[in-house]
Copies of this chain bind each other. A is one copy, B any other.
Amino acid sequence: MKKILIANRGEIAVRVIRACRDMGIATVAIYSECDRAALHVRLADEAWPVGPSAPRESYLRIDAIIEAAKKSGADAVHPGYGFLAENEDFAAACRDAGLVFIGPSPEAITLMGSKTAARQAAIKAGVPVVPGTEEPLSEDTSDADVLTVAERIGYPLMLKAVAGGGGKGMRMVSTPADLPAALRAARSEALSAFGDGAVYLERRILAPRHIEVQLLGDHHGTVLPFVERECSIQRRHQKVVEESPSLAVSPELRRRMTSAAAAVAKTVGYTNAGTIEFLLDRDGSFYFLEMNTRLQVEHPITEMVTGVDLVQWQIRIARGEPLTLAPESLLTPKAHAIECRIYAEDPETGFMPSPGRIQGLRVPHGPGVRDDSGAYEGGEVPIFYDPMISKLVTWGETRGHAIARMKRALAEYQVRGIRTTIPFFQWLLDDEDFKAARFDTTFIDRKWGAPGSRLPQAIDSAHEDLAVIAAAVHMFTRSTATVVSEPVSIWKQAGRAEALR
């Protein structure tokens, strides 16, 4: 494997480029019109255009991407996550074009990509599933038919896209009256994101924790599970903070959950990286939720507590190498890691997307800090794609240490010119229940909405004073010229500013 095309953009494309470079493998980026100067294009060895900015016309264009791979002489394709990562047609098209697809087989994607088929595979492996519809409800199923099925399962229930992922195409439905609107919204999101409007219904487990198990499977029959990730901190069913290990998982439960995950993967002959998601109920019972047949956004926390480079191993598995990792070490976390997904969204205005140019960027550094980012100072956050601009990950000797480092790193982090979710994480990390790991998947919805809970630090008048001072000093001393570093020059500027009044 000498040259890999990365069929993705943003931070995950940059992440894969770095793994390739660490392995001495050349990289081919692809880009849409608005991404010509994106970081993944700048860092790759080659960059090929694949179409206009809308995802359907570029990053979802299987033909254009396969053509770029062929022209560039790439011998393999890494799909990242999102876009075509869980599209069996893309995996098959790669195979047909003689390209190694760095991921599972098209058959495994098809099987586990259907939430309903995946549930059946879990049942076959002896792993409990959440009660729900075993067959998908196609786009054409009438509201009345869906209501009938829903009645059998009982409310509240979850409405989910069969092809879903990343929280998209998912709605909680509390009463029959809410079902038609939720169905319309979920189908529309699913169609736009995955090109498939089919949905299914599932009983809603009240206040569960979301626990998932990372797996690697090679082409020699070995499947290895990793220590669990805790992903209960979600907004709109989308993970925003993940950590490993979970404080809710005892060594005994870890053994059972990781064994169950490996059993599901083995049942379907799974290869490469994948993740089994579980709901963990308050009574300690757990249910298979779904399998993600790709690298996860949150893979770095697993890397931080096990020392394993998952992207490198994806590539090594794809080129036929056997898994030589020591199984026990993967289940023995080295202390604690936590990840915050930095989004270009403004938490002050209901998480409105905040695209635009990054006027200034200061990235945190120092011990125990890792920033996987697709952003740079002067770069644009386009409106067309997922607004996640980076993943900030910290490691600590204890969970408290990891959280303390995260708070420090968030305080160092400055993304100027657009709004981000950094203040939201600062609020979260100071929450007593979060600090005590007392939470479930409803945490954010319950807590963030509560009166007085929002961004308490932003209404602190001492900090407002500092902001006022900084703004006043800036206006007083501002200069359109280059950096002024001598005080004397500042006073000159100040004099000029006054003279101009």
Contacts and interface: CB of A to CB of B under 8 A. Distances in A.
Copies of this chain present in the complex amount to: 2
B309 A18 contact: no
Interface string A329-366: 00000110000000000000000000001000001011
Contact of A22 (B21, B37, B372, B404): B404
A370 B372 contact: no
Contacts of A300: 367
Interface in A365-415: 365-373, 378, 380, 395-397, 401, 404-405, 408, 411-412
A408 B363 contact: no
A308 interface: yes
A396 B312 CA distance: 12
B22 A408 contact: yes
A251 interface: no
A22 to B, nearest CB: 5
Nearest to A370: B367
Contact of A401 (B21, B22, B366, B371): B22
A399 to B, nearest CB: 13
Interface in A31-64: 36-37, 43
A14 interface: yes
Given A24-B404, A334-B307, A367 B485 contact: no
Nearest to A393: B367
Contacts of A19: 367
A88 interface: no
Interface string A11-29: 0001100110111100000
Contacts of A500: none
A102 to B, nearest CB: 17
A365 B357 contact: no
A483 interface: yes
Interface in A67-117: none
Contact of A366 (B14, B307, B408, B485): B14
B367 A309 contact: yes
A21 B406 CA distance: 11
A1 B18 CA distance: 41
A334 B373 CA distance: 26
A367 B307 CA distance: 10
Interface of A: 14-15, 18-19, 21-24, 36-37, 43, 300, 303, 307-309, 311, 334-335, 357, 363, 365-373, 378, 380, 395-397, 401, 404-405, 408, 411-412, 483, 485, 487
